[in-house]
Amino acid sequence: MTSSKCALCDSKLRFMKMKFDGGYVCKKCYAIVSRNFTETIVKKKYDELLSYYEDYKRNRTNLGEFEISKKIADLMLVDYKNKKICLPNNRRMYGSDSHPEIFGFSEIFKFELKENNKIIDINRFKSDKKIKDKNEIVNELEIIVFTDRIENIKKSIKILTSPVRKSSFAYRRSIEFATEIIGELDKALSS
Ligand SMILES: [Zn+2]
């Protein structure tokens, strides 16, 4: 590994090069491995950067086949044409090395709505939107999507991950997102 070439893509390093623990990467690769300049790489090792970089490249190929017909916040994207959903797994909610994931409608076989880790009856949820117990605190609101992929059977769409009161705007907005996601999943299941 010489310092005149990018350790990841092998392109010649120009004026802009970024140091990691063991070498340098070019500006383009830096954008990728720093997750759009949101993380530093100075202390990261080559293996770690390479595995992230390769993973990113693989996922990009998938993402290219995805047409966004509908976007529900940064929680779920839908492609009606290719009959797919994309879960962005955004860092804000998941806080880890997750990448966007794409599932075909036909790979989804059911879903559940959970509040504070308790399953909510979806039919009741749909028919009664009035919020009761306004002072109650909700720590977690998520939709669990069950897929028939062995390695990915349960996917959580985290809508709310920090405590809010039921009377809050944040909670009401989360309920709106949940309603939209459920509507899309219903459509996907019946297509
Ligand atoms: Zn590079």
* pLDDT tens for the 191 residues of the chain, in order: 456 899 999 888 887 889 999 999 998 889 888 877 778 999 999 999 998 888 877 766 566 677 889 999 989 999 999 999 988 877 777 776 667 788 899 999 999 999 999 999 999 888 887 888 889 999 999 999 999 877 678 999 999 999 999 999 999 999 999 999 999 999 999 98
How much is the pLDDT for 60? 61
**59 Cα: distance to centroid of ligand 1 (angstroms):** 17
For residue 51, give the nearest of 24, 32, 69 by alpha carbon: 32
Q: 27 by DSSP, 3-state: which? A: helix
pLDDT, residue 98, reads 66
pLDDT for 1 equals: 47
Q: Is 0.85 surpassed by the pTM of this model? A: no
Query: 58 CA distance to ligand 1 centroid (A)?
Result: 16
How many angstroms is it from 67 CA to the middle of ligand 1? 27
- Strand 141-147, strand 108-115: pairing: antiparallel
What's the CA-to-centroid distance between 4 and ligand 1, angstroms? Answer: 11
Report how far ligand 1's centroid is from the alpha carbon of 33 (Å): 10
What is the CA(119)–ligand 1 centre distance, in A?
A: 46
CA of 68 to the centre of ligand 1 (A): 28
Distance between CA atoms of residues 112 and 97, nearest Å: 24
pLDDT score of 63: 65
* Interacting residues of 25 by C-beta distance below 8 A, sequence separation 6+: 6, 7, 8, 9, 17, 18, 33, 41, 49
Q: How many CB atoms lie within 10 A of CB 8?
A: 23
Separation of CA 34 and ligand 1 centre (Å): 12
